[in-house]
Amino acid sequence: MTRVFQAVVIGVSTGGVHALQKLLGQLPADFALPVLIVQHMRPDAGSGLAKLLDKCCALRVKEADELDEILPGTVYLAPPNYHLLVEREGFLSLSADPYVSFARPSADVLFESAAAVFGPNLIGVVLTGANFDGSLGLKTIKQNGGVAIVQDPADAEARQMPQAAIAATGVDYVVALDGMAALLQKLAPRRTTMPHDMRGRDA
């Protein structure tokens, strides 16, 4: 039986603004899946990145709020200085818990919470970055049956995050940024078949 994915989670750090502009800018307006993103940023960074990405993308891009409902075809960006988590009821939550992997927001926190909800119906992506955040979370996604995608380290502005993710688990795809959007479109369901129930496998 063909697997129907329900969400994409992305972790990115150094070089992330350019990478996200390129990746999200290549996704069509009818891309079916919600996209949840952790971009490392200063605690006082403000909401400028979400506004910038929203202008260059066909999809709606917004900074995540507490209790946002996870909707198809919407991009949610973790706000500065808050962890972003997926709740089993299909909503987002924010946390000011301590730094994880030297980061808040942390990709590991997002990935692990999303893996617990979406299980094998989750796509995890690690892009350019200068630390190891996301590697343990991507391993958790794989352990729960999801798909792991990593930007080719040779193609990344900062190789450390992709290299750490590849070392941590058996990834399914290692691709250059130029090919990332096409791969996600290949994996994603058509908008008309997007499941309305976002509560995950065990809800």
Q: What tens digit of pLDDT does each residue of 130-155 get?
A: 999 999 999 999 999 999 999 999 99
- Report the mean per-residue pLDDT for the chain: 92
pLDDT level of residue 93 (50, 70, 90 thresholds): very high
Angle at 141 between CA 139 and CA 144, to 5 degrees: 110
Sign of the torsion angle spanned by Cα atoms 146, 13, 109, 46:
negative
DSSP summary character for residue 41: -
Question: What is the longest distance spanned by two Cα atoms in the chain?
Answer: 46
Show which residues are catalytic.
13, 40, 133
Residue 50's pLDDT is 94
Percent composition of the chain: helix, strand, coil (DSSP 3-state, to 5): 35, 20, 45
For 179, residues 6+ apart whose C-beta sits below 8 A from its C-beta are: none
Is the pLDDT at 195 greater than 60? The verdict is no
Domains defined along the chain, listed by start: 7-190 (3.40.50.180)
The per-residue pLDDT for range 39-82, each reduced to its tens digit, is 999 888 877 999 999 999 999 999 999 999 999 999 999 999 99
Q: What are the phi and psi torsion angles at 141 (to 5°)?
A: -60, -45
